A and B are shown apart, each in its own frame.
Chain A
Amino acid sequence: MNSIRKNRITDTLFNYLGIASTMFGLIMLAIFITNILIDGIARIDWQFLTSLPSRKPERAGILTAWTGTAWILGLTAVFAIPLGVAAGIYLEEYGKKNKLGTIIEINITNLAGVPSIIYGLLGLEIFVRILHFGASLMAGAFTLALLILPIIIVATREAIRAVPSSLREASFGMGATKWQTIWHQVLPAASGGILTGIILSLSRAVGETAPLIVIGALAYVPFVAKTPLDEFTVLPMQIFNWTSRPQHGFIINAAAAIIILLVLTFIMNGIAIYLRNRWQKRVKW
């Protein structure tokens, strides 16, 4: 009797504790977003999106920053997706499941957790110095591709592993080769999971600043990048730069740029969630 009551009380207590914890996070986020919106929403207009940086806050815009982010996003995707997906396929379908395989698996998972600034140092040495890309879009995209490669590989492997073996057996049983089975059955069945991983990793890349600072990307770039070997800046760097300026006008600019960056990442995460839900619904063998 007593113990039942005690358990009940503990139960209720944890219920409220859980609600409180959840609310804490949500409220903080809401306050932050409201603040940013109040500061910045009025600043977003056509001029803001199409202007080059300037010393005068009211004339400054994010044209170089958002085009740089678009470049980086595209180039990173081009480098990271084929490499990551191919590596994931190899490790899961062809690689031997022996000790070496386990070591590789653990290391890739660990690489996904390495601080991004370390990748920046790696990029600085390899892409900027040894390969002489300079502080260009190429160097930035390759660095970010390295950064998100582990995430894509892990996501690909998990998605492939979730494909039931009965599907593989059915394909092999029909006389399909290994590659035909992977191409016609495994990859389509795993595509939702792979795509989700890709989008989430790219949305991480979009928000990264540290590795790009390390490779020498500039906050002030007076022109829009035209080739992958041009210098560049990206939204987070522009924001970082503006928030460190004394004039109030730049704080407002930063808030406006943050809104743009948030919208971009929310859209990308939204697409990822949509794909994941659709995929989960479809995968019922």
Chain B
Amino acid sequence: MPTIQTIDINAWYGTKQALKNISLEIEEHSITAFIGPSGCGKSTFIRIFNRMNDYIEGFKMEGQVLIDRQDINAKEVRVEELRQRVGIVFQKPNPFPKSIFENVAYGLRIQGINDKKVLSEVVEKSLMRAALWDEVKDDLNHPALSLSGGQQQRLCIARTLAVEPKIILMDEPASALDPISTSKIEDLATELKENYTIIIVTHNMQQAARISDKTAFFYMGEMIEYDKTTDLFTNPRHERTENYITGRFG
């Protein structure tokens, strides 16, 4: 049964159409990669799943996004609850200018949970799941901004995990990182797949091929092809997809 389903998504920035008639289904506990050249709409699309576009001026959207069969744009849906279920990790690591501990605890604190014991447990568990615990366990009170870029990004993942989401959106999570940090993030994504549904936007096609189960190729706001990753990369059905993955453009 698909966890996520989109039906005929169209979106605009002002008068410029950014997404055209996109319908797809995403299975539970899988990694889905969105690839395509810059400006193709993949980042706009991933941000639809937790309504991060709401604050962008001039953004307009039509169509339905169903998560566990519920329309997330329905009036009765509280966007704050939605974002606790659908977490997001951004391209540039953006920890809060607070301590490592407070970064991970933030999601709980804003829900009104301030019990020190509960927070400590969640912080430890989340940092472990994000494969960061061993590196920072003695420095939990240090500022998060003193960590390296790769560590900051894993901290951002830990922060997202702390509120127990079901779905994690990753918008080019490794594009600002060095190869070693990148491979750590990739390993992490593969591990997290056991318990979470992951959608990842990436410019790096090897990355998509390495870690994702399914891949969607976007071009000029359209979803050209959506298939099992192995099929899409070895046997693309569309010429555009083939040209892109073989590096002939983009």
Contacts and interface: CB of A to CB of B under 8 A. Distances in A.
Contact of A174 (B55, B92, B107, B145): B107
Contacts of A171: 96, 106
A176 B80 contact: yes
A131 interface: no
A170 B57 contact: no
Which of A97, A168, A170, A180 has the most C-beta atoms of chain B within 10 angstroms of its own C-beta?
Answer: A170
Contact of B83 (A175, A189, A282): A175
A6 interface: no
B78 to A, nearest CB: 9
Given A174-B107, A175-B83, A184-B106, A169 B90 contact: yes
Given A166-B92, A171-B96, A282-B97, A176 B110 contact: yes
Contacts of A285: 94, 97, 145
Interface in B126-155: 145
B90 A175 contact: no
A177 interface: yes
A172 B52 contact: yes
B160 interface: yes
B84 interface: yes
A170 B110 contact: no
A39 B156 CA distance: 62
B87 interface: yes
Interface in B49-78: 50, 52, 55, 57
A185 interface: yes
A284 B94 CA distance: 11
B42 interface: no
A253 B61 CA distance: 71
B185 interface: no
A169 B107 contact: no
Contact count band on B: 20 to 34
Nearest to B162: A174
Given A170-B94, A170-B96, A284-B145, A175 B81 contact: yes
Contacts of B83: 172-175
B163 interface: yes
A234 B83 CA distance: 55
A172 B110 CA distance: 11
Interface string B31-61: 0000000000000000000101001010000
B159 A174 contact: yes
B87 A173 contact: yes
B19 interface: no
A266 B145 CA distance: 34
Nearest to B87: A173
A169 B96 CA distance: 11
A142 B221 CA distance: 56
B83 to A, nearest CB: 4
A167 B94 contact: yes
Contacts of A168: 55
B88 interface: yes
A111 to B, nearest CB: 26
Given A166-B94, A170-B94, A285-B97, A175 B88 contact: no
Contacts of B50: 173
B106 A174 contact: yes
B92 A175 contact: no
Contacts of A173: 50, 52, 83, 87-88, 90, 160
A177 B80 contact: yes
A172 B55 contact: yes
A189 B163 CA distance: 24
Given A169-B52, A180-B110, A174 B90 contact: no
Contacts of B159: 170, 174
Contacts of A97: 57
A174 B98 CA distance: 15
A170 B96 CA distance: 8
Contacts of B107: 174-175
Contacts of A282: 97
A218 B50 CA distance: 62
Contacts of B106: 171, 174, 176, 184
B156 A170 contact: yes
Contacts of B92: 166
Q: Which 6 A-B pairs have the closest CB atoms?
A: A175-B84, A166-B94, A175-B83, A173-B88, A170-B94, A174-B107
24 contacts: A167-B97, A168-B55, A170-B94, A170-B96, A170-B156, A170-B159, A171-B106, A172-B55, A173-B90, A174-B83, A174-B84, A174-B110, A174-B159, A175-B84, A176-B80, A176-B106, A177-B80, A177-B110, A180-B110, A184-B109, A185-B96, A188-B97, A189-B97, A285-B94
